[in-house]
Amino acid sequence: MEKLTLSRKTTTCTWVVITVLSAGTVFMGFNAGWGVIKVTLVIIAYVLVIPFSVLFTKATIDQKVLRKKFANLQPLLDEKCDPCMYIKGLLPLMVKYRYILDQNNIFDICMNVSLVVAYIADGQNDTAMEAICGLAEKYRTKKIDTRMVFLINMALVSANIADKNLAEAKKHFKQAKLSQSHFSVQKLVIIRQKSTALFEQSITRIEAALTLLEKRYEEALTAHKQLWLMAQNSQHTKVAIQHNLAEAYEALGEIQKRDECLNYVANNGNTLHIARLAREKLR
């Protein structure tokens, strides 16, 4: 597990700086008539303050680096529909910057939820369920931002939908909407309008998926057609919508329309699990 440590080169440079400053203090201090006690206290201050300042600076820089690398990974899943490569890129980041995740629950939850989404997209439903249940248990008794509670519950909903577990999916969806209702009573400065809109869109997508799981196929068709018209949809989301439309059309006996949707999924889903299933079905 990665901890907040300095490289040998940085450590050497830090102690060189401390040594130079200490030597300068001894020379300048005695010439100014400070005395041994005052000079010693200044040197001790250097030894205590400088290393901690370097560590703090490193942690700040590492957070910015992690945020940028995490953002750069997103197109792999959202646009290129390649969950396998996304997982291969995300897991090493989470190991390397584990100390940041341990100190910052927002980083920890966002990255772990993203990992769960990727596992589901890759067809690793058991791994996804294990990961999100572990995350939920980790934060069960901790006080965290309601947005993070929302994300955890929505990931639990997605994992249960993937497992076709309607009862558990509906239970966690209810909890997710409850946490979302608290957004409006929080201080507005910590709720970004864009984030709130994204949360609302994710609720709409889950509601559509639940109608399909409940076998309300006509409603599922209407809901997913409306989702299709949303301009903000990523390629991954579009493929998932077409996959769900294909399921609904098949249940209603409209095989030609089902195949049209499956063709979209097969041609645009790259390595997504649902794309692999669509290709097999079209053979």
Nearest to 210 by CA among 244, 181, 176: 244
pLDDT at residue 16 is higher than 70:
no
Q: CA 178, CA 70: separation in Å to the nearest integer?
A: 28
With a pLDDT cut of 90, the percent of the chain lying above it is 61
**pLDDT tens digits, 49-88:** 666 665 667 777 788 899 999 999 999 999 999 999 999 9
What average pLDDT does range 79-103 have in this prediction? 94
Residue 40: which pLDDT band, with cuts at 50, 70 and 90? confident
The pLDDT score that the predictor gives to residue 213 is 95
Most confident range, picked from 45-49, 97-101, 277-281: 277-281
Q: Which residue has the tokens 């997710």?
A: 176
Helix axis angle, 8-31 to 36-78, nearest 10°: 150
Point out the least confidently predicted range of 32-46, 130-144, 148-162, 250-264: 32-46
Q: CA 200, CA 223: separation in Å to the nearest integer?
A: 14
With a pLDDT cut of 70, the percent of the chain lying above it is 75
pLDDT at residue 188 is higher than 50:
no
Report residue 234 as tokens: 């990523």
Most confident range, picked from 103-107, 143-147, 168-172: 168-172
What average pLDDT does range 132-138 have in this prediction? 96
Of residues 178 and 271, more confidence is placed in 271
The pLDDT score that the predictor gives to residue 191 is 42
pTM (global) more than 0.85: no
Residues 25/45, Cβ–Cβ less than 8 Å: no
What average pLDDT does range 106-130 have in this prediction? 96
The pLDDT score that the predictor gives to residue 253 is 96
* CB-CB neighbours of 49 under 10 Å: 11
Distance, C-alpha 273 to centroid of its chain: 20
What average pLDDT does range 29-44 have in this prediction? 67
Most confident range, picked from 21-30, 46-55, 72-81, 195-204: 72-81
The pLDDT score that the predictor gives to residue 199 is 75
The pLDDT score that the predictor gives to residue 50 is 62
pLDDT at residue 140 is higher than 50:
yes
What average pLDDT does range 253-263 have in this prediction? 97
The pLDDT score that the predictor gives to residue 200 is 80
Average model confidence (pLDDT) across the chain? 84
Nearest to 63 by CA among 55, 53, 73: 55
Residues 28/43, Cβ–Cβ less than 8 Å: no
Measured CA to CA in angstroms, residue 209 lies from 103, 205, 233, 278 at distances of: 35, 6, 15, 18
Q: CA 224, CA 238: separation in Å to the nearest integer?
A: 10
The pLDDT score that the predictor gives to residue 178 is 86
The pLDDT score that the predictor gives to residue 152 is 94
pLDDT at residue 229 is higher than 60:
yes
Domain extent listing, the chain: 211-274
The pLDDT score that the predictor gives to residue 147 is 84
